Structures are given as structure tokens and as C-alpha cells.
Amino acid sequence: MANLKEVRIRIASVSSTQQITKAMKLVSATKLRRAQNGIVQMRPYAQKLNGILANLSESVDVDSVKLFFAERQIKNILMVVITSDRGLCGSFNANVIKLTNKTIKEKYFAQSENGNVSVLTIGKKGFEFFNKTTLPVISEFKDTFLNLNADTGFEIGTKVLSDFRAGKFDAVEIIYNQFKNAATQILSAEQFLPINKASFSNTTAKNNDYIFEPSKEGILEELIPRILKTQIYRSLLDSLASEHGARMVAMDKATENAGDLLKGLKVEYNRARQAAITKEISEIVGGAAALSS
């Protein structure tokens, strides 16, 4: 049994850790509310744009945007992997990395064997992992979530679209956590490019006959890239809200575990203290008996 000093040190250490996890839980809960408001407000706008994209998908004949819909022979693949910049959020990052590896293995195994699968990481944790693998990391976006806004999302979108337009990649996949609620994140692997028309089957779109003003070419060249960049920004907002939800749950669980550990340590402390007192009494009684004899 550990002595009283060792148990006291452990109790103080666990209590300090519990205070930290409580504070982190409260901070994450506050950030979660802001991030949740952001994604909730963004989704109707993104869904409306997807509806427009679904309507336009059958009638796009502008060369500069037609390539976003055109199926190619898939030789080079880009995986856009969205993780967090910080840890202490349970299996949030590990699940994204596992799904990325699973998608590459099951869907793009032949291309990965030829070294034709590249990774664009958003978040430090994803970069730290894939930078140690054989997969080439073509670009990294760290500290993205410190001040996430539409400009950040559009900057990433511009990079992805320009590489796809230049023919560097024939397919782009986005791996991220979709936010459902504070306790639930849905892992998603979505084909971003080329645009999959089959995915519009669940989109509430009507066959509208649009009138384009001033010109169809000018509007489509501006509208479709904006829709695609908005999808990336939505994925970032989803991931940010999911991160704070995962961290809040992880810190809540850590606080509970620290409480359970403290209970056990206090029982151990009381037992050690009782044993020390009993030993002292025994020594006093033994000494008194020796003197009387």
C-alpha cells in the first residue's frame, strides 16, 4: 500500500487535472454554440446552391465549367483531409485518418500503388500524420480554424479547382466529420470533383428554364466555381462544430473518470491513514507493556 505522502500527491495531481478538463469542457461548449450557429445558418444557403447546381447539371455547355462535370480516366487523385489543429478531442482525428486510408485502399488502391494519390491536409493533426507516410502532401493549411471565414474556405477551394482545371488531378475526395449534434459526428467521404450527377437524386430540384442575364457563359463561369467553393466552406464549418462537440464530450468523460479516480484514491488514503494510526497505537501499547514489565 502506498504511503500517505504518495497518495496525497496523486490526489492533488488528479484534482488539478479535473479542474483543467472542466475548464476545457466549458470553453468547448461556448465555442460549440458559435460554431453550431455558423453551420446551421450556412446549410440552407448551401442546399439552395446545390439545388441550382442540380438544375444546371443537365444543361451546362460552357467549356470552362463543363470539365467539372466530365468523367475522366482516373489516374491522379487528391484527398482533401479535414482534421483539427489541436488534440484532446477523443477519436475525432483518428477516425478521419482511418476513413481516408480505408477510402484509398478500397477505392483507389491501384492508383496508390503507383504513387498517384496525393493529400491536401487542412488541420495540423492530419498534416502531422500524412507527412510521415509515403503519400505526398501537396499542400497544408494549418491554423485554418483559428479565424475561420468564407475567405479561408474560398482560398482552399480556389487551390483545389485550379489544380483540377490544370489536369493535375482527375478526382477529388473530401474526408471530414459532418456535424449532427454535440455528441454525434458523421464521418463523410464525398466525391467533390468531378461533380457526381447521381448525388443530385436526393436534392429537391425542379427543372427550371433559366433566363441568363447578361450572358449564360459569364454567369456559369462565376456561379459554379462559387458553389463548389461554398461546399468546401460548409465542410470546414461542419468539421469545426464537430471538433468542439467531440472535445466537449471527451473532456466531460475525462472529468467523470477523474472523479472516479479521486474516489478510489481517497479510499486508499483513508486506509493508509487508518493503518498508520493503528501501527502507532500498537507501538505505544507495546512500549507501555515493555516498561511495565
Catalytic residues: 89
Measure the N-to-C terminal CA separation of the chain; round to a whole number of Å.
Answer: 34
Put the strands of the sheet holding 117-122 in their side by side order: 137-141, 117-122, 77-82, 171-181, 184-193
Is the CB of residue 205 less than 8 Å from the CB of residue 45? no
Is the CB of residue 142 less than 8 Å from the CB of residue 85? yes
- In the three-class reduction of DSSP (H, G, I as helix; E, B as strand; rest coil), residue 207 is classed as coil
**Residue linked to cell 478526382:** 171
Q: Rounded to 5, what percent of the chain is helix, strand, coil?
A: 65, 15, 25
